Copies of this chain bind each other. A is one copy, B any other.
Amino acid sequence: MPQEIDILVSEVGPRDGLQSIKRTMPTEAKLHWIKALASSGLREIEVGSFVSPRLLPQMADCGMLVRESNKIEGLTVLALVPNLKGAENAVAAGARKLTMPPSASRAHSLNNIGMTPEEAIEEVRHVCAFRDSLPSEKRPDVEASISTAFGCTLEGKVSEDWVIEIAGLLAKAGADSIGLSDTTGYANPAQIKRMFRRLRSEIGVEKMGGAHLHNTRGQGLANVVAALEVDVTTFDSSLGGLGGCPYAPGASGNIVTEDLVFMLEAMGLRTGVDIDALIAAREVLLRGLPNEVIYGNIPDVGLPKGFTYASGRSVT
């Protein structure tokens, strides 16, 4: 029986990390990496994105990855779908959880998924209707995570009222859970607390999604602490902070899974993840992407002397 956990760490490296770099990792190497990630104890992995291979050739093997990853016991396999067509392809491949990225910033939404925010909400409605048309054993969970929820590199400030309004509309459209994404690394801890509190009061605790945070300005784990203060229990992160930040040579893109898991476990919050196994998974990642720059402090510095996991397990 799997260990009980307090916080779900949702690994997004195979999707968010790999789509941020130019090289394409071979399918076989991706699968090795996904298996290594799962064997560290990660319960949920976003394996890819069902988008046009013209736009993101790195993601062309997403169907195969879903099919193969589904064979890993106890793993929730997540796939990003920007629209109904993507959702149909994902379900055909056997995906049981879909994540959709409507964006609060109009400029970013048009740029990223070629739709206005309102059209993106409609698309979530179509995907939810499609979900409901399926026999129950094939019905995927539909998660929506609002991109640029804390600011946008194109528009600057994004109205917080508008973000919360979108969350309410997504809930009405049928999304199973709704999270907030700091796509641009603009969020600060005060804003994180305020917005997740408002999100909960808008959509209720049953539909509360997670926090997708980037470390662009070094605020990633600080934002996690703020989110924990308002009882957020799911965090996206990426092994080695894969993908980096194009503007900051020393900065990871997504928050680094290794450092996140260390922080949570040190705080007494069980993740079910083994840090040494995560560090071993870095080698598997680098075998598939030789010489890629990856990030993380814990892999370089090691665990504190006398460290114990939240479960009470000691490592020294």
A residues near B (Cβ < 8 Å) are: 151-157, 184-186, 188-191, 215-219, 221-222, 224-226, 228-229, 245, 247-251, 256, 259, 262-263, 266-268, 295-298, 300-302, 304-306, 316
Contact = CB atoms under 8 A, between A and B. Distances in A.
A248 B302 CA distance: 9
Contacts of A226: 225
28 contacts: A153-B305, A154-B305, A156-B304, A156-B316, A186-B304, A189-B225, A190-B268, A191-B266, A191-B267, A215-B297, A216-B297, A217-B259, A217-B297, A217-B298, A218-B263, A218-B296, A219-B259, A219-B262, A221-B221, A221-B222, A222-B225, A222-B263, A225-B225, A225-B226, A229-B229, A247-B300, A247-B302, A248-B300
A182 to B, nearest CB: 11
B221 A224 contact: no
A216 B316 CA distance: 19
Most chain B Cβ neighbours within 10 Å, of A153, A250, A302, A316: A250
Contacts of A297: 215-218, 248, 250-251
Contacts of A152: 305
A296 B221 CA distance: 15
A267 B217 contact: no
Nearest to A151: B304
Contacts of A225: 189, 222, 225-226
A254 B56 CA distance: 40
Main secondary structure of the interface of A (DSSP, over half): loop
Nearest to A152: B305
CB-based closest 9 A-B pairs: A156-B306, A188-B266, A218-B297, A190-B267, A156-B305, A221-B222, A248-B300, A225-B225, A218-B259
Contact of A301 (B221, B222, B245, B300): B245
Given A248-B301, A251-B297, A301-B245, A218 B256 contact: yes
A144 to B, nearest CB: 24
Given A151-B306, A156-B306, A295-B250, A185 B222 contact: no
A217 B261 CA distance: 12
Nearest to A153: B305
